[in-house]
Structure 1
Protein backbone atom coordinates (compact mmCIF):
# COMPACT_ATOMS: atom_id res chain seq x y z
CA UNK A 1 0.00 0.00 0.00
CA UNK A 2 1.17 3.47 -0.79
CA UNK A 3 0.45 6.57 1.30
CA UNK A 4 -0.69 9.55 -0.76
CA UNK A 5 -1.71 13.07 0.17
CA UNK A 6 -5.49 13.47 0.26
CA UNK A 7 -5.54 15.48 -2.97
CA UNK A 8 -3.30 12.97 -4.77
CA UNK A 9 -5.62 10.08 -3.93
CA UNK A 10 -8.63 11.98 -5.26
CA UNK A 11 -6.74 12.91 -8.43
CA UNK A 12 -5.84 9.24 -8.92
CA UNK A 13 -9.52 8.41 -8.49
CA UNK A 14 -10.53 10.93 -11.17
CA UNK A 15 -7.93 9.57 -13.59
CA UNK A 16 -9.12 5.97 -13.02
CA UNK A 17 -9.50 5.15 -16.69
CA UNK A 18 -11.41 1.87 -16.29
CA UNK A 19 -14.92 1.03 -17.49
CA UNK A 20 -16.19 1.07 -13.94
CA UNK A 21 -15.79 4.30 -12.00
CA UNK A 22 -13.29 3.63 -9.21
CA UNK A 23 -14.50 4.17 -5.66
CA UNK A 24 -13.09 4.70 -2.20
CA UNK A 25 -13.35 2.77 1.05
CA UNK A 26 -13.53 4.66 4.34
CA UNK A 27 -12.13 3.09 7.51
CA UNK A 28 -12.82 3.86 11.15
CA UNK A 29 -10.13 1.91 12.99
CA UNK A 30 -10.70 0.87 16.56
CA UNK A 31 -9.03 -1.60 18.89
CA UNK A 32 -11.70 -4.30 18.34
CA UNK A 33 -13.51 -3.32 15.14
CA UNK A 34 -12.88 -1.56 11.84
CA UNK A 35 -15.93 0.23 10.47
CA UNK A 36 -16.21 0.34 6.67
CA UNK A 37 -18.00 2.68 4.30
CA UNK A 38 -17.86 2.83 0.50
CA UNK A 39 -18.39 5.77 -1.85
CA UNK A 40 -21.11 5.72 -4.48
CA UNK A 41 -20.08 5.41 -8.13
CA UNK A 42 -19.90 9.19 -8.54
CA UNK A 43 -17.76 9.54 -5.41
CA UNK A 44 -20.13 12.02 -3.82
CA UNK A 45 -21.89 10.01 -1.12
CA UNK A 46 -20.49 7.66 1.52
CA UNK A 47 -22.57 4.57 2.24
CA UNK A 48 -22.29 2.27 5.28
CA UNK A 49 -20.85 -1.11 4.39
CA UNK A 50 -19.89 -3.37 7.29
CA UNK A 51 -17.66 -3.87 10.29
CA UNK A 52 -14.66 -6.18 10.48
CA UNK A 53 -13.59 -7.74 13.76
CA UNK A 54 -9.99 -6.93 14.59
CA UNK A 55 -7.62 -9.18 16.52
CA UNK A 56 -3.87 -9.56 16.63
CA UNK A 57 -4.09 -12.81 14.67
CA UNK A 58 -6.54 -12.02 11.87
CA UNK A 59 -4.59 -9.45 9.84
CA UNK A 60 -4.18 -11.83 6.87
CA UNK A 61 -7.93 -12.48 6.85
CA UNK A 62 -8.58 -8.75 6.98
CA UNK A 63 -6.20 -8.20 4.06
CA UNK A 64 -8.10 -10.89 2.12
CA UNK A 65 -11.39 -9.14 2.96
CA UNK A 66 -9.96 -5.87 1.68
CA UNK A 67 -8.79 -7.57 -1.54
CA UNK A 68 -12.32 -8.89 -2.08
CA UNK A 69 -13.76 -5.42 -1.48
CA UNK A 70 -11.25 -3.89 -3.92
CA UNK A 71 -12.45 -6.31 -6.59
CA UNK A 72 -16.19 -6.09 -5.83
CA UNK A 73 -16.33 -2.29 -5.59
CA UNK A 74 -13.54 -1.28 -8.01
CA UNK A 75 -11.76 0.49 -5.18
CA UNK A 76 -9.00 2.94 -6.01
CA UNK A 77 -7.96 3.54 -2.44
CA UNK A 78 -8.65 3.80 1.26
CA UNK A 79 -9.51 6.86 3.33
CA UNK A 80 -8.34 5.97 6.81
CA UNK A 81 -9.66 7.95 9.75
CA UNK A 82 -6.82 9.35 11.84
CA UNK A 83 -7.11 11.27 15.11
CA UNK A 84 -4.94 14.27 14.26
CA UNK A 85 -3.81 16.23 17.29
CA UNK A 86 -3.34 20.00 17.19
CA UNK A 87 -0.25 19.66 19.36
CA UNK A 88 1.24 17.08 17.00
CA UNK A 89 1.38 14.44 19.71
CA UNK A 90 0.60 10.81 19.11
CA UNK A 91 -2.39 9.42 20.96
CA UNK A 92 -3.21 5.78 21.75
CA UNK A 93 -5.94 5.93 19.08
CA UNK A 94 -3.42 7.17 16.50
CA UNK A 95 -1.13 4.29 17.40
CA UNK A 96 -3.98 1.82 16.71
CA UNK A 97 -4.50 3.29 13.25
CA UNK A 98 -0.79 3.29 12.38
CA UNK A 99 -0.42 -0.25 13.65
CA UNK A 100 -3.27 -1.60 11.50
CA UNK A 101 -2.07 0.17 8.36
CA UNK A 102 1.47 -1.08 8.96
CA UNK A 103 0.27 -4.65 9.47
CA UNK A 104 -1.83 -4.52 6.29
CA UNK A 105 1.20 -3.22 4.36
CA UNK A 106 3.38 -6.05 5.68
CA UNK A 107 1.01 -8.71 4.27
CA UNK A 108 1.91 -7.59 0.73
CA UNK A 109 -1.64 -8.41 -0.35
CA UNK A 110 -2.64 -4.79 -0.94
CA UNK A 111 0.47 -3.46 -2.66
CA UNK A 112 -1.52 -2.00 -5.59
CA UNK A 113 -3.75 0.01 -3.27
CA UNK A 114 -3.20 3.62 -2.22
CA UNK A 115 -4.44 5.24 0.97
CA UNK A 116 -4.61 8.56 2.72
CA UNK A 117 -5.32 9.66 6.25
CA UNK A 118 -8.29 11.89 7.04
CA UNK A 119 -9.16 13.65 10.29
CA UNK A 120 -11.60 11.57 12.32
CA UNK A 121 -11.83 13.74 15.41
CA UNK A 122 -15.30 13.62 16.95
CA UNK A 123 -16.82 11.29 14.33
CA UNK A 124 -17.62 8.54 16.85
CA UNK A 125 -19.03 11.08 19.32
CA UNK A 126 -21.25 12.58 16.61
CA UNK A 127 -22.53 9.16 15.59
CA UNK A 128 -23.16 8.18 19.23
CA UNK A 129 -25.26 11.35 19.62
CA UNK A 130 -27.26 10.43 16.51
CA UNK A 131 -27.78 6.81 17.59
CA UNK A 132 -28.63 7.64 21.21
CA UNK A 133 -32.35 8.33 20.52
CA UNK A 134 -32.66 4.86 18.97
CA UNK A 135 -32.03 3.32 22.40
CA UNK A 136 -30.23 0.27 21.03
CA UNK A 137 -30.08 -2.39 23.75
CA UNK A 138 -27.30 -4.63 22.54
CA UNK A 139 -23.88 -3.08 23.36
CA UNK A 140 -22.11 -5.00 20.57
CA UNK A 141 -24.71 -3.87 18.01
CA UNK A 142 -24.39 -0.29 19.25
CA UNK A 143 -20.58 -0.38 18.99
CA UNK A 144 -20.53 -1.93 15.52
CA UNK A 145 -23.20 0.50 14.30
CA UNK A 146 -21.16 3.40 15.71
CA UNK A 147 -17.99 2.18 13.98
CA UNK A 148 -19.75 1.67 10.65
CA UNK A 149 -21.33 5.13 10.65
CA UNK A 150 -18.12 6.76 11.90
CA UNK A 151 -16.52 5.35 8.73
CA UNK A 152 -19.34 7.01 6.76
CA UNK A 153 -18.58 10.35 8.47
CA UNK A 154 -14.85 10.05 7.73
CA UNK A 155 -15.38 9.18 4.08
CA UNK A 156 -18.15 11.76 3.60
CA UNK A 157 -15.96 14.49 5.07
CA UNK A 158 -13.20 13.55 2.64
CA UNK A 159 -15.54 13.39 -0.36
CA UNK A 160 -17.17 16.73 0.50
CA UNK A 161 -13.81 18.42 0.90
CA UNK A 162 -12.31 17.01 -2.30
CA UNK A 163 -15.42 17.66 -4.42
CA UNK A 164 -15.68 21.23 -3.06
CA UNK A 165 -12.02 21.84 -3.99
CA UNK A 166 -12.66 20.38 -7.45
CA UNK A 167 -15.69 22.64 -8.03
CA UNK A 168 -13.71 25.64 -6.80
CA UNK A 169 -10.84 24.84 -9.19
CA UNK A 170 -13.33 24.39 -12.07
CA UNK A 171 -14.86 27.83 -11.33
CA UNK A 172 -11.40 29.41 -11.32
CA UNK A 173 -10.54 27.75 -14.64
CA UNK A 174 -13.84 28.93 -16.17
CA UNK A 175 -13.33 32.48 -14.89
CA UNK A 176 -9.83 32.63 -16.36
CA UNK A 177 -11.01 31.29 -19.72
CA UNK A 178 -9.17 27.98 -19.57
Structure 2
Protein backbone atom coordinates (compact mmCIF):
# COMPACT_ATOMS: atom_id res chain seq x y z
CA UNK A 1 0.00 0.00 0.00
CA UNK A 2 1.27 3.42 -0.95
CA UNK A 3 0.59 7.05 -0.13
CA UNK A 4 -0.45 9.46 -2.87
CA UNK A 5 0.87 13.03 -2.68
CA UNK A 6 -0.86 15.90 -4.48
CA UNK A 7 0.17 19.49 -5.19
CA UNK A 8 -3.12 21.10 -6.20
CA UNK A 9 -2.90 24.19 -8.39
CA UNK A 10 -5.54 26.12 -10.28
CA UNK A 11 -4.92 24.30 -13.59
CA UNK A 12 -2.80 21.27 -12.72
CA UNK A 13 -2.29 18.71 -9.98
CA UNK A 14 1.23 17.40 -9.38
CA UNK A 15 1.16 13.73 -8.42
CA UNK A 16 3.70 11.71 -6.41
CA UNK A 17 3.66 8.24 -4.86
CA UNK A 18 5.49 6.67 -1.98
CA UNK A 19 7.31 3.40 -2.37
CA UNK A 20 5.67 0.32 -0.82
CA UNK A 21 7.63 0.80 2.44
CA UNK A 22 6.46 4.44 2.63
CA UNK A 23 10.03 5.73 2.87
CA UNK A 24 10.55 7.66 -0.36
CA UNK A 25 8.44 9.73 -2.73
CA UNK A 26 8.66 9.61 -6.52
CA UNK A 27 7.04 11.90 -9.05
CA UNK A 28 4.38 10.27 -11.22
CA UNK A 29 2.68 12.83 -13.44
CA UNK A 30 0.98 16.18 -13.70
CA UNK A 31 -2.76 16.13 -14.30
CA UNK A 32 -4.70 18.87 -16.02
CA UNK A 33 -7.80 19.89 -14.08
CA UNK A 34 -10.08 22.81 -13.41
CA UNK A 35 -10.69 24.10 -9.90
CA UNK A 36 -14.15 25.09 -11.16
CA UNK A 37 -14.91 21.41 -11.91
CA UNK A 38 -13.32 19.47 -9.06
CA UNK A 39 -14.31 16.17 -10.67
CA UNK A 40 -12.16 16.86 -13.74
CA UNK A 41 -9.20 14.75 -12.50
CA UNK A 42 -11.26 12.01 -10.82
CA UNK A 43 -10.80 9.37 -13.52
CA UNK A 44 -7.02 9.73 -13.66
CA UNK A 45 -6.75 9.75 -9.85
CA UNK A 46 -8.98 6.66 -9.61
CA UNK A 47 -6.70 4.84 -12.07
CA UNK A 48 -3.58 5.76 -10.05
CA UNK A 49 -5.23 4.79 -6.75
CA UNK A 50 -6.23 1.38 -8.12
CA UNK A 51 -3.01 0.67 -10.05
CA UNK A 52 -0.70 1.48 -7.13
CA UNK A 53 -2.89 0.24 -4.26
CA UNK A 54 -3.04 3.66 -2.58
CA UNK A 55 -4.14 3.56 1.07
CA UNK A 56 -4.08 7.28 1.90
CA UNK A 57 -3.63 10.70 0.30
CA UNK A 58 -1.58 13.77 1.27
CA UNK A 59 -2.65 17.13 -0.14
CA UNK A 60 -0.42 20.18 0.10
CA UNK A 61 -1.98 22.95 2.17
CA UNK A 62 -0.73 26.35 1.00
CA UNK A 63 -0.36 28.75 3.89
CA UNK A 64 0.87 32.30 4.05
CA UNK A 65 4.28 32.73 5.65
CA UNK A 66 2.57 33.93 8.86
CA UNK A 67 0.68 30.61 9.06
CA UNK A 68 -2.73 31.89 8.01
CA UNK A 69 -4.75 30.12 5.34
CA UNK A 70 -5.83 32.10 2.30
CA UNK A 71 -8.07 31.39 -0.67
CA UNK A 72 -5.81 28.68 -2.17
CA UNK A 73 -5.60 26.97 1.21
CA UNK A 74 -9.37 26.99 1.63
CA UNK A 75 -9.72 25.45 -1.83
CA UNK A 76 -7.26 22.69 -0.86
CA UNK A 77 -9.30 21.98 2.28
CA UNK A 78 -12.50 21.70 0.25
CA UNK A 79 -10.81 19.48 -2.34
CA UNK A 80 -9.35 17.25 0.40
CA UNK A 81 -12.79 16.64 1.91
CA UNK A 82 -14.10 15.89 -1.58
CA UNK A 83 -11.30 13.34 -2.18
CA UNK A 84 -12.11 11.65 1.13
CA UNK A 85 -15.77 11.26 0.17
CA UNK A 86 -15.05 10.23 -3.42
CA UNK A 87 -12.30 7.66 -2.83
CA UNK A 88 -13.10 6.57 0.76
CA UNK A 89 -9.47 7.04 1.82
CA UNK A 90 -7.96 9.08 4.65
CA UNK A 91 -6.70 12.46 3.38
CA UNK A 92 -4.07 14.45 5.23
CA UNK A 93 -3.39 18.14 4.69
CA UNK A 94 0.31 18.99 4.86
CA UNK A 95 1.82 22.48 5.10
CA UNK A 96 3.42 23.07 1.72
CA UNK A 97 4.99 26.45 2.35
CA UNK A 98 8.01 26.95 0.12
CA UNK A 99 7.77 23.56 -1.65
CA UNK A 100 7.27 25.15 -5.06
CA UNK A 101 10.14 27.55 -4.34
CA UNK A 102 12.35 24.62 -3.28
CA UNK A 103 11.35 22.62 -6.37
CA UNK A 104 12.15 25.60 -8.61
CA UNK A 105 15.52 26.07 -6.91
CA UNK A 106 16.40 22.38 -7.30
CA UNK A 107 15.51 22.46 -11.00
CA UNK A 108 17.54 25.64 -11.51
CA UNK A 109 20.54 24.07 -9.78
CA UNK A 110 20.16 21.05 -12.07
CA UNK A 111 20.24 23.50 -15.02
CA UNK A 112 16.82 22.43 -16.29
CA UNK A 113 15.54 24.74 -19.02
CA UNK A 114 12.63 27.07 -18.30
CA UNK A 115 10.38 25.16 -20.69
CA UNK A 116 11.10 21.82 -18.99
CA UNK A 117 10.76 23.36 -15.52
CA UNK A 118 7.21 24.47 -16.30
CA UNK A 119 6.33 20.88 -17.22
CA UNK A 120 7.68 19.24 -14.06
CA UNK A 121 7.44 21.87 -11.30
CA UNK A 122 4.05 20.68 -9.95
CA UNK A 123 5.14 17.03 -9.95
CA UNK A 124 8.35 17.98 -8.14
CA UNK A 125 6.41 20.03 -5.58
CA UNK A 126 4.17 16.98 -4.99
CA UNK A 127 7.31 14.89 -4.35
CA UNK A 128 8.55 17.44 -1.81
CA UNK A 129 5.19 17.57 -0.03
CA UNK A 130 4.95 13.79 0.17
CA UNK A 131 8.60 13.28 1.16
CA UNK A 132 8.26 15.84 3.97
CA UNK A 133 5.11 14.06 5.16
CA UNK A 134 6.88 10.67 5.06
CA UNK A 135 9.91 12.02 6.94
CA UNK A 136 7.72 13.49 9.66
CA UNK A 137 5.72 10.29 10.09
CA UNK A 138 8.53 7.71 10.20
TM-score by length of 1: 0.68
- The answer to whether the aligner puts 1:32 opposite 2:2 as a matched pair is no
User: 1 CA distance for matches of 2:107 and 2:54?
Assistant: 29
**Residue aligning to 1:119:** 95
Query: Structure 2, unaligned stretches of length 5 or more?
Result: none
Range 81-90 or range 120-129, more displaced: 81-90
What are the equivalent positions in structure 2 for 1:67-78 lying under 5 Å apart?
67-78=46-57
Q: CA RMSD in A?
A: 2.1
Q: Which has the larger radius of gyration?
A: 1
| Aligned partner of 2:133 among 154, 158, 175 | 158
CA shift, 1:135, in A, is 4.2
Instruction: Kindly tell me the number of residue pairs found equivalent between the two proteins.
Output: 137
TM-aligned CA distance change 1:149 to 1:88, over 3 Å: closer
Contact 2:6 2:57 in 1 (8 A): yes
Contact 2:11 2:34 in 1 (8 A): yes
**Residue aligning to 2:113:** 136
Contact 2:16 2:29 in 1 (8 A): yes
Q: Comparing both structures, which one devotes a greater share of its residues to helix?
A: 1
Range 153-162 or range 63-72, more displaced: 63-72
User: 2 CA distance for matches of 1:137 and 1:82?
Assistant: 25
| Aligned partner of 1:50 among 29, 39, 42 | 29
CA shift, 1:96, in A, is 3.1
User: 2 CA distance for matches of 1:60 and 1:124?
Assistant: 24
Q: Comparing both structures, which one devotes a greater share of its residues to strand?
A: 2
Query: Structure 1, unaligned stretches of length 5 or more?
Result: 1-21, 164-178
